[in-house]
Structure formats: structure tokens, C-alpha cells
Amino acid sequence: MRKLILKNHQSPGDILMLTAAVRDLHACYPGQFLTDVRTSASQLWDHNPLITPLDEHDPSVSVIDCHYPLIHKSNFAPYHFVHAFSQYLNEHLDLHIKPTRHHGDIHLSPREKAWISQVHELTGEDTPFWIVVSGGKYDYTVKWWECSRYQECVDHFAGRIQFVQVGELRHFQPPLRGVIDLRGRTDTRQLVRLVYHSQGVLCGVTFLMHLAAAVEMKSGKPRNRPAVIVAGGREPTQWEAYPHHQYLHTVGALPCCKDGGCWRARTFPLGDGDEKDLPNHLCVDTVGPLPRCMHMITAQDVIRRIEMYYEGGSLKYLTERQATAARKAVLHGLEVV
């Protein structure tokens, strides 16, 4: 059996896509490989049966620094991010790996599935909830939507949908009112478990979007997790969008993204010395604090996409009892903060 150690220390979303490549490698070449990893976001590999501890100093082990140059073809080639690492391995190992699922590969143990969620702990019952991220990392501010628009969505569904806000406090995560505030209170594995219990996800193109597709739904729930993604025009849709998500984009609607995503990084320079402040990384069409592609997506656009899941029968709004329990959890969160 060929022994591989795969390395990558990029963002969690990238590591999640690498889990797909490991899954598909073993699916296409069963019994032919032993695989181990050295990555950031190591908790994404917890309980993964395809990981075997290997010693990178063992001469029989091949160590591969994994990249995805396929992204440079993303605006015109019919590939999704899920293809990226597999194609890299194909080229470097002379293989023919093909994706077997249109999402990453996350495994939860039976014990994890049996645990109640952080929201259940706060509300005292199994309360349905959506997860929301109101900001993002400072390196790609062009992905941010306006916080007041997220707030408009939360307010519109008050008493019918309970939103739970997450995000790392070292990033830009402006607080929302009327949410259960778990910002800074989830590590990667806790976020995985929170997504497992969630009814839906509202966010931009970020790690949470990929988790929404990769983490299985609880037994007795819809097969695929609802998600509304505020995407704008930075990334080409075929590279990022998942089949069961409501992916709100403006690709093709503006000169700057008429042929695909612009792949710009920041709306305005931050003055932090990062190369992303250079003109070739900055948005070329802004409206106030937003890129025009994000400004064009309104709160009503998002609200309508969320409502579709309920009108179509995939989801049900909170009962009066669930809404009352959720309000208590919101107040409890305010007291803790």
C-alpha cells in the first residue's frame, strides 16, 4: 500500500476541501493507500476512518504539500472547489481520482451525535435554529455584507426563526440583536457539532458555507441543510455554490465580474501592510462601505430565499413554546456577555 502524508496549512475552508480529496482517493482506489495529514484545522479530521498515523521520516512515506492550481481556471472551466485537491493529486501521483460527493467529508462519532447542542443547553429543549455569521476575516473584506442587512433579516423572522451568531472574535464579527450569541464560544469541533444540530445557515462565502454542505443532517430532518449564501461577484458560481443552497450572486451583472468572479480581496485598504491593500487587490466599484456586487443584494432578497424553504415545506417555523424558550436563551446570552 502506498503511504501518503498530505500537508496544507491554509484556512479551514481549504482543509475541508482536502477532506473531500482524501475520501475520493480511497473511493477510487480502495485498499491501495494509507493516508495521514498535517494541516491546520486538525479537528476537521476527528473520527475520520481514512486517516492512519504515519511517520513522515519513514522512507516509505511520500509527503505532499497540497495546492489547488485549478482555481486559476475557475472562471471559465466547469469545476467546483471539490475537484481542486483531487486534480492536484492526480497530476502528482498519476492517478484518476473523481469526486464522489459534492461536499467535504466530515465524520461525527455516535457519542457526538448523542450530545445536545449548545442551544439546547441554553433553551432547555431541542429548539430549531439557524446559524448566522455577520462579518468575516480582515484579509477578504470584499466578502462582507452590511451588518444592518443581516439585522433586518433577523428582525423579520423574530419569533419564527431563532438565529445563533458565531464567529471568531479576532475577526470582524459585529454583534446582532435578538440572536443567541456564541461568538468566540466555539472551537472548530464545537462549530461542526453546532452545524449538525442546525436547521439552516445564513452567511457569505466562508467556512460555514462549506460546513453547511459537508455536515450531515440529524436523523428525521431534511436530507440537505438549507443555506442562504450572500455571495456577490467575487467568486464564480460553479466554483463555490452547492446544489441545495440558495446562492445569491451578481456574476455577469457588473462589468467587473462579467466573465466570472473578480477575485479581489478588499473593499478599501486597511493600512496593515498586507499586500491585499495594493490596487490590484482592491474592489473597483463600491457603494458606501460595500462592493457594488454586495450592495445589490438586499435584505429582502435574502428574506425571500429563507422563506422559500418554509413555503416549500422543507422547514417549519418555531412553535410558540420554542420561541419563548429561545427568547430566554437570548436574554441569558446578553447577561453572560
Q: What is the DSSP string of 236-302?
A: -HHHH--TTSEEEE-TTSSGGGTTS-----BSS---SS-GGGSGGGB-SSEETTEEHHHHTS-HHHH
43 with 142, same domain: the answer is no
Give the residue from 241, 136, 275, 130 showing the smallest Cα distance to 194.
130
55 with 150, same domain: the answer is no
105 belongs to a structural domain? no
Q: How many residues does the chain have?
A: 337
Contacts of 154 (CB under 8 A, 6+ apart): 132, 163, 176, 177, 178, 179
149 belongs to a structural domain? yes
335 — pLDDT class (breaks 50, 70, 90)? very low
Q: In the chain, which ranges are E strands?
A: 2-8, 33-39, 61-65, 130-132, 163-165, 180-181, 200-204, 227-232, 246-249, 286-287, 290-291
Q: What are phi and psi of 247, to 5 degrees?
A: -105, 105
Q: What are phi and psi of 301, to 5 degrees?
A: -60, -45
85 with 197, same domain: the answer is no
Task: Tell me how far apart the alpha carbons of residues 299 and 87 are, in angstroms, rounded to a whole number.
Answer: 38
212 belongs to a structural domain? yes
Q: Please, are residues 118 and 30 in contact by the beta-carbon 8 Å criterion?
A: no
Q: Please, are residues 129 and 162 in contact by the beta-carbon 8 Å criterion?
A: yes
Q: Choose one of 38, 65, 93: the last residue of a domain.
A: 93
322 burial type by CB count under 10 A (0-12 exposed, 13-18 middle, 19+ buried): buried
Mean pLDDT (the chain, rounded): 96
227 with 152, same domain: the answer is yes
Looking at residue 337, its pLDDT comes to: 35
289 belongs to a structural domain? yes
Tens-digit pLDDT profile for residues 121-166: 999 999 999 999 999 999 999 999 999 999 999 999 999 999 999 9
67 with 163, same domain: the answer is no
81 burial type by CB count under 10 A (0-12 exposed, 13-18 middle, 19+ buried): buried
Q: What mean pLDDT do residues 278-294 have?
A: 98
Contacts of 270 (CB under 8 A, 6+ apart): 138, 141, 277
Domain of residue 140, residue span: 111-336
Give the residue from 113, 92, 177, 171 showing the smallest Cα distance to 139.
171
Task: Tell me how far apart the alpha carbons of residues 212 and 197 are, in angstroms, rounded to a whole number.
Answer: 11
Total domains, the chain: 2
78 with 126, same domain: the answer is no
Residue with cell 501592510: 273
67 with 154, same domain: the answer is no
Give the residue from 128, 263, 136 showing the smallest Cα distance to 203.
136
39 with 150, same domain: the answer is no
Q: Choose one of 60, 93, 126: the last residue of a domain.
A: 93
**Which CATH number fits the domain that encloses residue 178?**
3.40.50.2000
Looking at residue 332, its pLDDT comes to: 72
Instruction: Locate 150 and state its grid cell.
Output: 443581516
Give the residue from 29, 14, 15 showing the smallest Cα distance to 90.
29
Q: Choose one of 59, 93, 127: the last residue of a domain.
A: 93
57 with 158, same domain: the answer is no
Looking at residue 322, its pLDDT comes to: 95
Tens-digit pLDDT profile for residues 23-53: 999 999 999 999 999 999 999 999 999 999 9
Instruction: Give the global pTM.
Output: 0.96
Q: What are phi and psi of 325, to 5 degrees?
A: -65, -40
262 with 198, same domain: the answer is yes
Residue with cell 464560544: 185
Question: Does pLDDT of 183 surpass 90?
Answer: yes
Residue with cell 455577469: 252
220 — pLDDT class (breaks 50, 70, 90)? confident
